[in-house]
Amino acid sequence: MKAVEYDVAVVGGGPAGLAAAIAAKEGGAEWIVIIERDIRLGGILEQCIHTGFGLTYFGEELSGPEYAWRFIEKVEAMGIHVELKSMVLSIDRDPLVIHAVNTNGTFAIPAKAIVLAMGCRERTRGAIAIPGSRPAGIFTAGTAQRFVNIQNRMVGKRAVILGSGDIGMIMARRLTLEGTEVVAVLEIMSYLAGLTRNRVQCLDDFGIPLYLEHTITEIKGNSRIEGIVAAKVDQNNQPIPGTEFNIDCDTLLLSVGLIPENELSKTVGAEMDSITAGPIVDHNMQTNIPGVFACGNVVHVNDLADNVSRESTLAGRAAARFAMESYRPQASQMVQIKAGKNVRYVVPQKIDLASGEEFVNVYFRVSNPDKCVQIYGAVGEQIFSKKNKPLVNPGEIESLKLSVDEIRAANCSCVCVNAEKQGGVQA
């Protein structure tokens, strides 16, 4: 294949990549390519057949494939080039070149700007080290979702789900409707990992028991899983002896977290955040490598696809500006955004004061659930952009709108984002 230089090359054709490519085109970039490893665009949305997508982005409730189609239609109409069934292997810097492979062999795609939109993958049994035998019948929730929703394969007759993440709860409902008995959802933490509305409509609606502060201490069975041993855990998440009980099952789904997929980001030298496991980005979603942007679940695991689309629009627009040479970030104008009280991480991790916006939204997850919380930015003793929130939960992403003028006036190098119990803050 002839190596044509693209203005913007997008790695990944899921919600992040689609929104970024459209925004790049709307932002004036002419030659855009999306490189996708699957046989069609849409990414994981293709198997997310449940509704709940689009409430904030389109103001209506859509299923995953419908939500994806809104973007795919636009990508096609805009004449954005798409390379399907193509896997990116590595990315060079100075100059930026993507190396990929498909059935025709390997090929290179030089680009003025690159958007990393590879999404995330599921944490597996190996990552959480459940003791016991290694029989068949243990799936990550997303793998089971793909079997059931795309490939027309049932995973089992009697299932236990470990982890109360959204995909796990959604699969509890899906399996129940398809005739599998879901006997328990176990969650090691004292609170739900996913969205409350999913507990209501996926577990409560079908009478599926949720065991908080419980984990699996043993997997039984030789060729096929025959059951698990569950136990209550203490404050350090250690099983409490004497609390064990058996649950018979032929299937175990793991919904124990997602990991941003950043092998490629590392090949180009992107600096990573150890908490999010994604690249460190500024508020235009640019990594530390000039011209390399990142968005969606590759940066941090989002709760809603709508948030991914919004964030990816910023990345696509900025990538177009970079490709047209109308935007270059200034290291001297960068202010760090750091996680403060009860905040686990903040994205973006940097704000470029020179880029012209009046306000910048930052997104974060809290470390622990809390009620009657004040969310605010702080520079030393100085507090700004304060707002109240009746309830915060690590499962749901929070946001704070920061005024760039206020940050500039504070003449600081770092702003902390805090989520503190009301009353703890001096006005």
Partner 1 sequence: MKTREITCIICPSSCRIIVTGDENGIQDIQGYSCNRGIDYGQSEFLAPSRMLTSTIRAEGYVTPLISVRTDKPVPKEQMHSCMKEIHAAVATAPFTIGRVVIENICGTGSNVVLTNC
Told to check if 161 binds partner 1 by CB under 8 A, we report: no
What is the distance between the alpha carbons of residues 69 and 18, in angstroms, rounded to a whole number?
A: 10
* Residues numbered 293-322 forming contacts with partner 1, rule: CB under 8 A: 303-304
Which window, 9-17, 93-101, 190-198, 356-364, contacts partner 1 (CB under 8 A)? 190-198
Residue type, 165: G
Closest by alpha carbon to 349, among 273, 290, 266, 268? 273
What is the distance between the alpha carbons of residues 423 and 23, in angstroms, rounded to a whole number?
A: 42
Which window, 53-61, 116-124, 131-139, 157-165, contacts partner 1 (CB under 8 A)? 53-61
- Considering only 90, 106, 190, 196, the residue that binds partner 1 (CB under 8 A) is 196
What is the distance between the alpha carbons of residues 378 and 88, in angstroms, rounded to a whole number?
A: 41
- Considering only 3, 4, 136, 150, the residue that binds partner 1 (CB under 8 A) is 150
* Residues numbered 15-44 forming contacts with partner 1, rule: CB under 8 A: 39-40
Task: Give the CA-trace dihedral at 151, 75, 9, 6, to 10 degrees.
Answer: 140
Which window, 59-67, 272-280, 324-332, 339-347, contacts partner 1 (CB under 8 A)? 59-67
- Supply the minimum distance, in Å, between the C-beta of residue 152 and partner 1: 4
- Supply the minimum distance, in Å, between the C-beta of residue 150 and partner 1: 5
- Considering only 11, 17, 21, 46, the residue that binds partner 1 (CB under 8 A) is 46
Nearer to partner 1, 55 or 89 (CB): 55
- Considering only 51, 102, 288, 336, the residue that binds partner 1 (CB under 8 A) is 51
Q: Would you say how long the chain is, in residues?
A: 427
Residues contacting 10, CB < 8 A, separation 6+: 17, 20, 21, 24, 32, 33, 34, 35, 114, 115, 117, 316
Told to check if 240 binds partner 1 by CB under 8 A, we report: no
First vs last C-alpha separation in the chain: 63
What is the distance between the alpha carbons of residues 293 and 288, in angstroms, rounded to a whole number?
A: 9
- Contact map string, positions 330 to 369, toward partner 1, x by CB under 8 A: ----------------------------------------
Nearer to partner 1, 208 or 351 (CB): 208
Told to check if 234 binds partner 1 by CB under 8 A, we report: no
Nearer to partner 1, 69 or 107 (CB): 69
Nearer to partner 1, 192 or 404 (CB): 192
- Considering only 5, 38, 63, 384, the residue that binds partner 1 (CB under 8 A) is 63
What is the distance between the alpha carbons of residues 154 and 174, in angstroms, rounded to a whole number?
A: 11
Told to check if 154 binds partner 1 by CB under 8 A, we report: no
Four-residue CA torsion sign, 62, 255, 180, 148: positive
- Supply the minimum distance, in Å, between the C-beta of residue 54 and partner 1: 11
- Supply the minimum distance, in Å, between the C-beta of residue 48 and partner 1: 9
Nearer to partner 1, 205 or 271 (CB): 205
Told to check if 191 binds partner 1 by CB under 8 A, we report: no
- Supply the minimum distance, in Å, between the C-beta of residue 201 and partner 1: 5
Nearer to partner 1, 49 or 101 (CB): 49
Nearer to partner 1, 140 or 145 (CB): 145
- Considering only 136, 200, 240, 372, the residue that binds partner 1 (CB under 8 A) is 200
| Cα-trace Rg, the chain | 22
- Supply the minimum distance, in Å, between the C-beta of residue 221 and partner 1: 29
- Considering only 102, 124, 143, 201, the residue that binds partner 1 (CB under 8 A) is 201
Told to check if 60 binds partner 1 by CB under 8 A, we report: no
Told to check if 50 binds partner 1 by CB under 8 A, we report: yes
- Residue 19 tokens read as 């929104």
- Supply the minimum distance, in Å, between the C-beta of residue 5 and partner 1: 33
Site residues, partner 1 (CB under 8 A): 39-40, 46, 49-51, 55-56, 61-66, 69, 148-152, 177-178, 195-197, 199-201, 205, 303-304, 391, 396
